Amino acid sequence: MPEPNYAIELTPPDIELYRAGNTGVEYVSTFDSGSPGPHVLVTALTHGNEICGAIALDRLFRAGLRPRQGKLTLAFDNVAAYCNFDRRVPTAG
């Protein structure tokens, strides 16, 4: 069965600038408010071809989103698959 043909009109962001993170784990950053509260984790790229999550996390980083209470962790999960994303075969990965 041939692969479905989808037009990809979004541009996957360059996430290399998030590689270092601040947790000791590549592509994972945690922001601590200094006040008690929940620890929220937002992940993207569980499947490397789901580029909307990468776009959303990139926007959160660029907006400077920080928690008022507790901690916020932003993580890109499956970076290797994302780096191999091919808009000509978007369902692969």
Residues with Cβ within 8 Å of 21's Cβ and at least 6 positions away in sequence, in order, are 27, 28, 29
Determine the average pLDDT of the residues in 1-30. 89
Determine the average pLDDT of the residues in 1-11. 75
Q: How confident is the model at residue 17 (pLDDT cuts 50, 70, 90)?
A: very high
The answer to whether residue 41 sits within a structural domain is yes
Determine the average pLDDT of the residues in 7-22. 93
Q: What is the pTM of this model?
A: 0.88
C-alpha 51/C-alpha 70 separation (Å) is: 28
pLDDT at 4 over 70: no
The answer to whether residue 33 sits within a structural domain is yes
C-alpha 78/C-alpha 54 separation (Å) is: 10
The answer to whether residue 90 sits within a structural domain is no
The answer to whether residue 7 sits within a structural domain is no
The answer to whether residue 29 sits within a structural domain is yes
Provide the domain count of the chain: 1
User: Domain span at residue 36?
Assistant: 16-83
pLDDT at 71 over 80: yes
